[in-house]
Amino acid sequence: MAARTYLFTSESVTEGHPDKMADQISDAVLDAILAKEARLEQEGYISPTGVPASLANVRCACETFLTTGTVIVAGEIRTQAYVDVQKIVRDTVRRIGYDRAKFGFDCETCGVINMIHEQSPDIAQGVDGTFARSEEDEIARIGAGDQGMMFGYASDETETLMPMPAFLAQSMAERLAAVRKDGTLSYLRPDGKTQVTVRYEDDEPVEVTAVVVSTQHAPEIDDMNVIKEDMLRHVIGPVLDGVGIKWSDAEIYVNPTGRFVVGGPMGDTGLTGRKIIVDTYGGMGRHGGGAFSGKDCTKVDRSAAYAARWVAKNVVAAGLARRCEVQLAYAIGVTHPLSIMIETFGTATVDEHKLELAVRDVFDLRPGAIIHDLDLRRPIFEKTAAYGHFGREDPDFTWEKTNRVDELRAALA
């Protein structure tokens, strides 16, 4: 029988893309609240109304909108910690690289509008439950912050157990930013996008057939051949040479329109949560629709999506399947997931029903347990908001650990 052949394409964006800027600002606000609330809790701070500082009481749903010269931060937040939103916005934009007017956006002169207000008590009562007297009591009392379904995915086609197209697109976007920041290509500006098409044979990635890189650049660089040669030498080549699949015949497109000077919030508006496929698996596997950035860990859009990746990655790392997709579903205020689904696309090495039972036995997927097991009340989220939430080797990305492999195998023995 002839091999099944198909093409699959994924994209990524750099941290200077306006949507990603919005994600990073929203998560920077969340991180600042978590860091300060932790200090206040340690110091035993009690507000004038008698409410003690507590990370368990933090609720955050922060949204950011950017356009020419302006950043608007809004959302629902509950915390005892005051944070300087103006400073957080300006520091984040500066770190990204928009620190002078000639780049089209300036961290020092942009307008910052703070429209944050407190979380609805109707939502809070469903999540908070009753007063917790112990760690286990708190785990048991935390209900899901909303209804919805979340997906996680893993595949053995890369070392990080990510799909090859998404892995390559994210790696190129990250490298594009790196050669800008280290001065290798000083004419680059923060905004940029990458796209990679991979040919599969019988579900194995065998060849890169097309690459697209669009990068913002200084106006004095008007020879696109210079930019293309630099992209091949410093971005595309180093990434593709490192994965061991053919790309010599790939179509290469660099700044296909011929010019990309106006970028960032001056070229397009930015909004938190508009890059959910870039954030996850590049379209390989399904997505429940919920964005991550700006949301604290009681929001299952984020925490359960991290947990689903954790489960799927451990299944693949244990050799129980070559591909694994996990779906979780929740109802607001309810502690246990309404459903758990394991899909291995015919690649399982064990009975799929037994595998699902093993997952249920090994992983506690209540929101409170996810928060505890993945240690999600830390200020680690701003760095998740660019270059993907999954497939990155960082000790703070606890959902990337393959620390339940032995337990899964034992449960199936």
Q: What is the pLDDT of residue 130?
A: 42
Residue 246: CB atoms within 10 A of its CB come to 12
Q: Compute the distance between CA of residue 65 and CA of residue 111 in angstroms, rounded to an integer.
A: 12
For helices 300-317 and 405-412, the axis angle rounded to 10 degrees is 70
**What are the residues whose beta carbons fall under 8 Å from the beta carbon of 270, sequence distance 6 or more?**
17, 18, 19, 20, 21, 22, 64, 65, 66, 67
Whole-angstrom CA distances from 111 to 50, 70, 114 are: 35, 5, 10
Model confidence pLDDT, tens digit, residues 122-166 = 445 555 544 455 667 778 888 998 899 999 999 999 999 999 999
Q: Compute the distance between CA of residue 397 and CA of residue 374 in angstroms, rounded to an integer.
A: 8
CB of 37 within 8 A of CB of 80? yes
Q: What is the pLDDT of residue 3?
A: 74
Model confidence pLDDT, tens digit, residues 231-253 = 999 999 999 999 989 999 999 99
Q: What is the pLDDT of residue 335?
A: 93
Q: What is the pLDDT of residue 131?
A: 45
**What are the residues whose beta carbons fall under 8 Å from the beta carbon of 52, sequence distance 6 or more?**
41, 44, 45, 46, 80
Q: Compute the distance between CA of residue 58 and CA of residue 43 in angstroms, rounded to an integer.
A: 16
Q: What is the CA radius of gyration of the chain?
A: 22
- Per DSSP, the three-state class of 193 is strand
Q: For the chain (length 413 residues), average pLDDT per consecutive 10? A: 88 98 98 96 89 90 97 95 96 96 93 86 50 67 92 97 98 98 97 98 96 96 94 98 94 94 94 98 96 97 98 98 98 95 97 97 97 97 98 96 98 94
Beta strand 270-271 with 204-217 is unpaired
- Mind giving me the DSSP string for 292-360? -TTB-TT-HHHHHHHHHHHHHHHHHHTTS-SEEEEEEEE-BT-SS-SEEEEE-TT--SS-HHHHHHHHH
List residues bridging with 7 in a β-sheet.
Answer: 199
Q: Compute the distance between CA of residue 400 and CA of residue 354 in angstroms, rounded to an integer.
A: 23
Q: Compute the distance between CA of residue 219 and CA of residue 378 in angstroms, rounded to an integer.
A: 41
Q: How far is CA 15 from the centre of its chain?
A: 12
- Per DSSP, the three-state class of 63 is strand
List residues bridging with 144 in a β-sheet.
Answer: 332
Tokens at 307, concatenated: 């947990």
207's enclosing H/E stretch is: strand 204-217
Tokens at 203, concatenated: 């579900």
CB of 279 within 8 A of CB of 170? no
Contacts of residues 337-340 at CB distance under 8 Å and 24 or more positions apart, as own/partner, are: 337/304, 337/365, 337/366, 339/149, 340/365
CB of 27 within 8 A of CB of 382? yes
